Amino acid sequence: MNDSNWNTTEFFSDLTERNRLARQNDFRFCRVSGLDGFEEALQTMQSTTAFVCVSDLSQGFTALNNTPRTRRVKTVFLAVRTPVDDQAARQRALDLMQELFRQFMSVLILEETRLKERFIYLDPRINFHEIDRYFFSGCTCAFFEIAIDKFTDLRYNPDEWETEPPEQ
């Protein structure tokens, strides 16, 4: 992890490994590429009953204001295998994932302080979303997204260009 970035995948892999609730419920960590990769991971890991998956894709933007910054949004998926059409099992799985999310956030709030020292800022609003029950048969799924802002140096550097910019 270098000073200007935060490795979301490494962070949540470590949390999954160290968290007692995740270990007691056999959560397995994996890296995926977006929602399609998440669905593919669920299909290929038939022997695993619970998942924490971080997408290696991110969405984002660069703000061109007096404090230029780049925002990247990373998605963390959670899933627990449940019997199809067993609403009580589905609710227990959602409760489990919500509690795991809460416990992850209790560490993330500590990490936020360390990140600020490196001029990396987490959006304080992190929403937990349940995925429709028909998303993947036999799995109860949820996700949350973490928005990460970091300072971006947007000063013009003539050494990066073959010619000067056009006059305004």
Rg, the chain, Cα only: 19
**For range 111-125, the mean pLDDT:** 90
Place of tokens 């998440």: 38
Q: Domain locations in the chain?
A: 8-151
Q: What is the DSSP string of the chain?
A: --TT---HHHHHHHHHHH-HHHHHTTEEEEEESHHHHHHHHHHH-TT--EEEEEEEEEEEEEE-SSS-EEEEEEEEEEEEE--TT-HHHHHHHHHHHHHHHHHHHHHHHHHHHHHHTTTEEE-S---EEE--TTSSTTEEEEEEEEEEEEE------GGG-SSPPPP-
pLDDT at 10: 94
Which of 61-65, 78-82, 107-111 has the least mean pLDDT? Answer: 61-65
User: What would the mean pLDDT of 39-60 be, rounded to a whole number?
Assistant: 80
Q: Check if CATH label 2.60.40 holds for domain 8-151.
A: no
Q: Phi and psi dihedrals of 161, rounded to 5?
A: -130, 150
pTM as predicted: 0.83
Q: What is the mean pLDDT of the chain?
A: 86
pLDDT-derived band at 1 (thresholds 50, 70, 90) equals very low
Give the residue-averaged pLDDT of 93-110: 96
Residue 46 predicted with pLDDT over 80: no
